[in-house]
Amino acid sequence: MEALRRKGGSQTTIRGYSFNWRTGLSTYASVTLADISKADIRGWHSKWGKRGPTAANHTLRLFRAIYNHALRTTDGLPPNPSIAVDPFQERARRPYLPWKALPAWLADVERLENPIRRNMWPFLLYSGLRKSDAATILWDEVGENSIHRPTPKGGRLKAFDLPLSGKLTAILEDARKAHELLFPRSPFVFPSNSASGHVETFREKTIPQVSPHMLRRTFATACVEAGLDPYTTKRLLNHTVARGDVTALYVQQSSGFLQEQMEKVSCYIDTKVTLSA
């Protein structure tokens, strides 16, 4: 994990790798890498599959990364035996919150008792942020026109500034009022009584069917339907540009342009709320 930290890996990624180590690979910690055969890793992967295809594949990726690191630093190792493993097929479900369900969902959110959470859910919808990026925002990272995210998915090398639309600014103003009322000393925009000091639970008993990533997909859909070009959509979502896409490396949108595009997306979502109501 130390190598991952040196590369600037995010805390979410490190926690995920640590979990997969504890639940999958730690059992074989005493086995010498050079002694691991293709049959061994195929058998391990099959056993990990009892925890689910996604968990098994993630653990396999961790093994591959560990072995490849050893290949770069150690002489005499045979080729990575994980090449002999065919990953499990994972479910390709990517649900989102459809426009027709948006007004009812927002009404349910408005009925939440906790004002911190009442503001958190619309913020997720209008920002498109991943839940970990939204939960860990500090007030010191909120500027007049943008929010800085120093360690998003992908780590420090993927740090970015999220432009603020008028809608997002209004949500943050309401969030500050709730913050001053309930957690005046907390540095977090969305504080809670959790061990970390910020919101960690992203399920509501009254609206259990909606997750933060569903809202992120709805935001991405709004970007496309509002007419944003693919490069700007990727930039707002902080998605990695595909290897070989030279044009994407040339495109450097200005902060003012990105803020205009975020405003366009917010307005488009607003129209869907009104028209679907």
Residue range 73-109, pLDDT digits in tens: 999 999 999 999 999 888 766 889 999 999 999 999 9
pLDDT in the model for residue 2:
64
**3-state helix/strand/coil string of 40-67:** HHHHHHHHHHHHCHHHHHHHHHHHHHHH
Q: What is the pLDDT of residue 225?
A: 97
Confidence (pLDDT) at 16: 79
Into which CATH architecture does domain 99-276 fall? Orthogonal Bundle (1.10)
Closest of 61, 71, 1 to residue 33, by C-alpha: 71
| Residues lower than pLDDT 50 in the chain | none
pLDDT for res 238: 95
Report yes or no: 144 and 224 within 8 Å, Cβ to Cβ: no
Distance of CA 251 to the CA centre of its chain: 23
Say if residues 84 and 66 touch (Cβ distance below 8 Å): no
Q: Is 36 helix (H, G, I), strand (E, B) or coil?
A: coil
The count of other CB atoms within 10 Å of the CB of residue 141 is 17
Which helix (H) or strand (E) element contains residue 160? strand 160-163
Angle, to 10 degrees, between the axis of helix 212-225 and the axis of helix 115-127?
Answer: 40
Taking only Cα atoms into account, the Rg of the chain, rounded to an integer number of angstroms, comes to: 22
pLDDT at 4: 57
Nearest CA among 151, 265, 251, 150 for reference residue 215: 265
* DSSP designation for 148: E
Write down the domain spans for the chain.
2-84, 99-276
Mind listing the pLDDT tens digit for each residue in 193-208?
A: 999 999 999 999 888 8
Is-contact 165 265, C-beta < 8 A?
yes
Task: Give residue 211's pLDDT.
Answer: 93
CA–CA separation, 222 and 219 (whole Å): 5
What is the torsion angle, in degrees rounded to the nearest 10, for the CA atoms of residue 155, residue 160, residue 164 and residue 169? 40
State the first-to-last Cα distance of the chain, in angstroms, to the nearest integer.
49
pLDDT of residue 92: 65
**Residue 167: half-sphere exposure toward Cβ, Cα within 13 Å:** 21
pTM: 0.76
In the DSSP assignment, the letter for residue 191 is B
What is the number of other CB atoms lying within 10 angstroms of the CB of residue 147? 21
